[in-house]
Amino acid sequence: MTPPDTTPPDRTRRNRADEPPSQPAFVEHDHHACSGRALEHAERMVREAGLRLTPVRRRTLEILLEEHRALGAYDVLARLAEDGFGNQPPVAYRALDYLVEKGLAHRIRRLNAFAACMAPGHEGAPVFLICGECGCVAELPAEDIAGRLAAAAGGVGFSVERLSIEAKGTCPSCRDNAGGRTCP
Amino acid sequence: MTPPDTTPPDRTRRNRADEPPSQPAFVEHDHHACSGRALEHAERMVREAGLRLTPVRRRTLEILLEEHRALGAYDVLARLAEDGFGNQPPVAYRALDYLVEKGLAHRIRRLNAFAACMAPGHEGAPVFLICGECGCVAELPAEDIAGRLAAAAGGVGFSVERLSIEAKGTCPSCRDNAGGRTCP
DNA sequence: ATCCGTAATATGATATTATTACATATTCGA
DNA sequence: TCGAATATGTAATAATATCATATTACGGAT
Ligand SMILES: [Zn+2]
Ligand SMILES: [Zn+2]
Ligand SMILES: [Zn+2]
Ligand SMILES: [Zn+2]
């Protein structure tokens, strides 16, 4: 099923040092730079890892990058259709699945939705913090937790291949001005 | 489908001293005792916590307890209908939601499915180990990880309310006799 | 240039999962 | 016994996801 695909993830390069490691989404930040960084990462993968960022895929990524929020496949599909792409479910699912596979987006299972990866290159299962009020989704690095988890699983003979850690709760913005809806 | 379980002659049973800490599901064990324990826990809640384990709910729990596997809501619904209960989706969803709310079952988001809680009373977000081969679902206690996670989230001002940790991979049974399908 | 194989896309249909709405029945306490 | 809360049955529909098939775009090899 899985296509051959010989693009190694290559973790040989840490991102540029001076960049603050991608704010937790609900703190005030320059989102234009934030999404730009993610897009740059994708471009770099195009050049260096043979990524095929076709128009649909690229547009899908852009759409996801607009907000720190997860979009349902059908939301994405509607946006794609507006832009002249196909309007059948597989159009969106294909693009989304591809992005997820390449680590440029994540699937948020609790929401049945997809979010752009805002910390590209991290290569470790992130933790998603989902605010139940404003719907913003923050991505927290959690290599240590993932490692600890894999170890615990290994202890009972289970080998982990994919890991999803999702926390639903309240983001600081929403907690402070309750009902304010200031987040993303 | 599979004839109702011939409770394998367990030679691997740890003596049930106080609380046999609920085997990881894919190790050979006396599942009859395993599910019985969960059912007992439910009964105790009925007596001590005013739980209302109506016929549908009880039957739903029994169905989930049959195997260490997650069942889709519609699978459960079909079983319920066989037994003379309603055959419309809300019948299953209501019962399942109730069980989840009371901690007697879990929702496995990665599978869009539900599994009985095999370690009732734990009350800490468990880790689910989902075998991609045989579909068995094991539940590992992970209070420490949950706590660590909540701390990390709190560090950025996010307060966690619900947490789901799900790992997909391969269980020891399936890894050993590859393709053997011996698990639960 | 032409051919061929693979990947990507378009489209229609179908499958699966989940919710809403409302009517009826039951339980439980004043 | 009455009324409120809870639970169930049923129909309709929404939301999410996959399948099947045909067509097109784009390599590399003749
Ligand atoms: Zn941003
Ligand atoms: Zn928020
Ligand atoms: Zn068991
Ligand atoms: Zn297995």
The model's confidence at residue B24, banded by pLDDT at 50, 70 and 90, is low
The 10 Å CB-count burial string (b at 16+, else e) for B130-149 is bbebbbbbbbbbbeebbeeb
pLDDT of residue A183: 60
Give the residue among A166, A179, A75, A182 at the shortest CA–CA distance from A129: A166
The pLDDT tens digits for B55-80 are 999 999 999 999 999 999 999 999 99
B157 alpha carbon to ligand 1 midpoint, in Å?
A: 17
Which residues of chain A have a Cβ shorter than 8 Å from any chain B Cβ?
Answer: 24, 26-27, 109-110, 127, 129, 131-132, 138, 140, 142, 144-145, 148-150, 152-153, 156-172, 175
Whole-number percent of chain B with pLDDT over 90 = 66
pLDDT of residue A95: 94
B31-176 CATH: 1.10.10.10
* Nearest residue, CB atoms, B148 vs list A145, A158, A166: A145
Rounded CA–C1' distance between B90 and D13, in angstroms: 13
The mean of the pLDDT values for chain B is 84
pLDDT of residue B18: 36
Could you give the strand order of the β-sheet that contains B159-170, starting from the edge strand earlier in sequence? Answer: A137-140, A127-131, A159-170, B159-170, B127-131, B137-140
Give the helix ranges, DSSP H, for B83-171. 89-101, 143-155
pLDDT of residue B26: 80
Whole-number percent of chain B with pLDDT over 70 = 83
Residue A6 has pLDDT above 50, yes or no: no
pLDDT of residue A156: 92
The model's confidence at residue B182, banded by pLDDT at 50, 70 and 90, is low
- 3-class SS at B118? coil
* End-to-end alpha carbon distance in chain A: 38
B129 touches strand C (CB under 7 A): no
Residue A19 has pLDDT above 50, yes or no: no
Q: On chain C, which bases lie within 7 A of the protein's CB atoms? A: 6-14, 16-21
User: How far is it, in rounded angstroms, from Cα B135 to Cα A154?
Assistant: 18
Residue A13 has pLDDT above 50, yes or no: no
* Nearest residue, CB atoms, A145 vs list B24, B149, B156: B149
Higher pLDDT, B38 or B27: B38
User: How far is it, in rounded angstroms, from Cα B81 to Cα B165?
Assistant: 32
The 10 Å CB-count burial string (b at 16+, else e) for A69-85 is bbbebebbbebbeeeeb
Instruction: Give contacts of A127 with chain B, Cβ < 8 Å.
Output: 149, 152-153
The pLDDT tens digits for B104-157 are 999 999 999 999 999 877 777 899 999 998 899 999 988 899 999 999 999 999
CB A38 within 8 A of CB A116: yes
Tokens representing B107? 């929702």
Instruction: Give contacts of B144 with chain A, Cβ < 8 Å.
Output: 148
Q: Quick one: average pLDDT of B3-20?
A: 34
Q: Where are the beta strands (DSSP E) in chain B?
A: 105-108, 113-116, 127-131, 137-140, 159-170
The mean of the pLDDT values for chain A is 82
pLDDT of residue A182: 57
Instruction: Give contacts of A26 with chain B, Cβ < 8 Å.
Output: 156-158
Residue ranges per structural domain of chain B? 31-176
Give the DSSP H or E segment for B65.
helix B55-65
